[in-house]
C-alpha cells in the first residue's frame, strides 16, 4: 500500500491527527489494519467495529487487538452481535470520539440513535460507500446533519478506482472461490451499470460470458449499450440466466417473484454494500429448504427440487467470500486518511453542517503517490502551457465538473 507508507513518512513528524479519537466501522481486513496503523502513526487513537458480518478476517482482528487496538468484530456475527460490537466500540466511559470513519452509515446511524450528545465533540464524518453517502444526504436534506461530513465515495480516487478496478478483479475471485463456476458461455445479468457494474461486466465479458445489464438511468444504460451489452428488464431474462449479480445500492432489486422463476442452479449474489438488494427474507419460508454447502454458499431448494445457489446470504460478495486487491485499496485508504486529516484540522467555519467532496487537489495527490509503483513519469506543464490552459502548474488540472 505505497501511498499509506508515503503518508506515514511525510506526516509522521507533524502528527496531523494528534489528539484525534477516530471511531471506525469498515471491513476489518489486512488493508484496513494498515490504515489503522497509519492513523495511529499520525497521532490518532482508534476504536473499530466491522461494517459487514462476514468480511472480518479473524486473524487480522486478533493481530490488531494484540497490537493494542480496540477491535470489536469477528467473521460470522449475528445481527445482534453486529450492533453489540458497534455499541461496544462507541460506548466507553472516559473515551469520547471526535472523528467518525464509516462504511455504510451504520455507525453514524447508531450514534444518532443512541448517543446523540456525542456529536457535540465530533468534528466530522468520513463516509466511503454509496449507501452511507445516501443516508448522509438524507440527513442533510432533513436538516438533521449536525457535523460536517466528507463524501469519500464520490471522490475520483475512490469511485473511479476502487468501485471499478477492484470489482473488475474481485467479482471473478468471489465467484470462483465459492462455486468453481466456469464463466465461458454463461448467461449473466448484472443489475446496475455504475462503476461497480462496469467493473463486473468488463471482467465477465473478458471471460466469455454473455452479459445482460439492467439500468434505471438512461445515461448509464447508453454506456452499457455502447460497451456492447444488451440492456434488458430483469423479467425478460430471469428464466434463462445462469448468474444474477446486483450492483445498485437499492432495495428489492431481486424479489421473490424473480427468485421463483430462476432456472435450476442459478447463482445469485450481490456486489453492493448493503444486503437489501436481494429479498433473502422472502426465502425463509417453510416450503423452501436451506442447505449449507460450504462457507458462504447456500442451496435454497424449492418443493419441485429446483435449487438456486445463494452466496453470502445476499451480502457483499467480494469481501465476504474472497479478498480484494491491496493496491487499489491503498488508493481508497489514503483518500480516507486525507479526508480525516482535512476535517480534523479545518479551521472553524470552513465546513458547515453539510456533505462535502474531498478537494480535487487531494484527489490528485493520492493518485500521484501511486504512480511510482508503475515507474510512471508525469509530464510537467511549461509556464506558457499553464498560462494557455489557465492552470496552476501544480494543479488542480481539471475543473470540479470534469467527469473523468
Binding residues for substrate: 29, 103, 128, 158, 162
105: left (phi over 0), alpha (psi -120 to 50) or beta: left
Is 119:146 a contact under the CB 8 Å cutoff? yes
Strand 307-311 to strand 297-301: parallel, antiparallel, or no bridges (unpaired)? antiparallel
CB 298 within 8 Å of CB 255: no
The Cα 381–Cα 64 span in angstroms is: 44
Cell of 389: 490552459
In the DSSP assignment, the letter for residue 398 is: S
Q: State whether residue 25 is helix, strand or coil.
A: strand
The DSSP bridge pattern shows strands 267-270 and 243-246 to be: parallel
d(CA 299, CA 332) in angstroms, rounded, equals 34
Q: Which residues are documented as binding site? A: 29, 103, 128, 158, 162, 194-199, 215, 318
Q: Which of 272-308 are b and which e, b meaning 16 or more Cβ less than 10 Å from the residue's Cβ?
A: bbbbbbbbbeebeeeebeeeeeeebbbebbbeeeebb
State the Cα–Cα distance between residues 92 and 23, nearest whole angstrom.
11
Q: Which residues are annotated as a binding site for NAD(+)?
A: 194-199, 215, 318
Separation CA 346–CA 182 (nearest Å): 51
CB contact at 8 A, 81 and 50: no
CB 264 within 8 A of CB 202: no
Identify whether the C-beta of residue 1 lies closer than 8 Å to the C-beta of residue 333. yes
**Residue 297 and residue 322 in contact, taking contact as beta carbons nearer than 8 Å:** no
DSSP string for residues in 334-363: HHHHHHHHHHHHPPTTSS-SSEEEPPHHHH
Distance of alpha carbon 163 from alpha carbon 316, whole angstroms: 13
* HEC profile of 194-246: CHHHHHHHHHHHHCCCEEEEECCCHHHHHHHHHCCCEECCHHHHCCCCCEEEE
Amino acid at each position: 500500500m505505497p501511498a499509506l507508507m508515503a503518508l506515514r513518512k511525510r506526516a509522521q513528524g507533524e502528527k496531523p491527527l494528534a489528539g484525534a479519537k477516530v471511531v471506525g466501522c469498515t471491513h476489518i481486513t489486512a488493508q484496513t489494519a494498515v490504515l489503522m496503523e497509519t492513523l495511529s502513526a499520525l497521532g490518532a487513537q482508534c476504536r473499530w467495529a466491522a461494517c459487514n458480518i462476514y468480511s472480518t478476517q479473524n486473524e487480522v482482528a486478533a493481530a490488531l487487538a494484540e497490537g493494542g487496538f480496540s477491535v470489536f468484530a469477528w467473521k460470522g456475527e449475528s445481527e445482534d452481535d453486529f450492533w453489540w460490537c458497534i455499541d461496544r466500540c462507541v460506548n466507553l466511559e472516559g473515551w469520547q470520539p471526535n472523528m467518525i470513519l464509516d462504511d455504510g452509515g451504520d455507525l453514524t446511524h447508531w450514534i444518532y440513535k443512541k448517543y446523540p450528545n456525542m456529536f457535540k465533540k465530533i468534528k466530522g464524518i468520513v463516509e466511503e460507500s454509496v449507501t452511507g453517502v445516501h443516508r448522509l444526504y438524507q440527513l442533510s436534506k432533513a436538516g438533521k446533519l449536525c457535523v460536517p461530513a466528507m463524501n469519500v465515495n464520490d471522490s475520483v480516487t475512490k469511485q473511479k478506482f476502487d468501485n471499478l478496478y477492484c470489482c473488475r478483479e474481485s467479482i471473478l475471485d468471489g465467484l470462483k472461490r465459492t462455486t468453481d463456476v466456469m464463466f465461458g458461455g454463461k448467461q449473466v445479468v448484472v443489475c446496475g451499470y455504475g462503476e461497480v457494474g462496469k467493473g463486473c461486466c468488463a471482467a465477465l465479458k473478458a471471460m466469455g460470458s454473455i452479459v445482460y445489464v439492467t439500468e434505471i438511468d438512461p445515461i448509464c444504460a447508453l454506456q452499457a449499450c455502447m460497451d456492447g451489452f444488451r440492456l434488458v428488464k430483469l423479467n425478460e431474462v430471469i428464466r434463462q440466466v445462469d448468474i444474477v449479480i446486483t450492483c445498485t445500492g437499492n432495495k428489492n432489486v431481486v424479489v421473490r417473484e424473480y427468485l421463483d422463476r430462476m432456472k435450476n442452479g442459478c447463482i445469485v449474489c450481490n456486489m453492493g454494500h448493503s444486503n437489501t438488494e436481494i429479498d433473502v427474507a422472502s426465502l425463509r419460508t417453510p416450503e423452501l429448504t436451506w442447505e449449507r454447502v460450504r462457507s458462504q454458499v447456500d442451496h435454497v431448494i424449492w418443493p419441485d427440487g429446483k435449487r438456486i445457489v445463494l452466496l453470502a446470504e445476499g451480502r457483499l460478495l467480494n469481501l465476504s467470500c474472497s479478498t480484494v486487491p491491496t493496491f487499489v485499496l491503498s488508493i481508497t485508504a489514503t483518500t480516507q486518511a486525507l479526508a480525516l486529516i482535512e476535517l480534523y484540522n479545518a479551521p472553524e467555519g470552513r465546513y458547515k453542517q453539510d456533505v462535502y467532496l474531498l478537494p480535487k487537489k487531494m484527489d490528485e495527490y493520492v493518485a500521484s503517490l501511486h504512480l511510482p509503483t508503475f515507474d510512471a513519469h508525469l509530464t510537467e506543464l511549461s509556464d506558457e502551457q499553464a498560462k494557455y490552459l489557465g492552470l496552476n502548474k501544480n494543479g488542480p488540472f481539471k475543473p470540479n465538473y470534469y467527469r473523468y
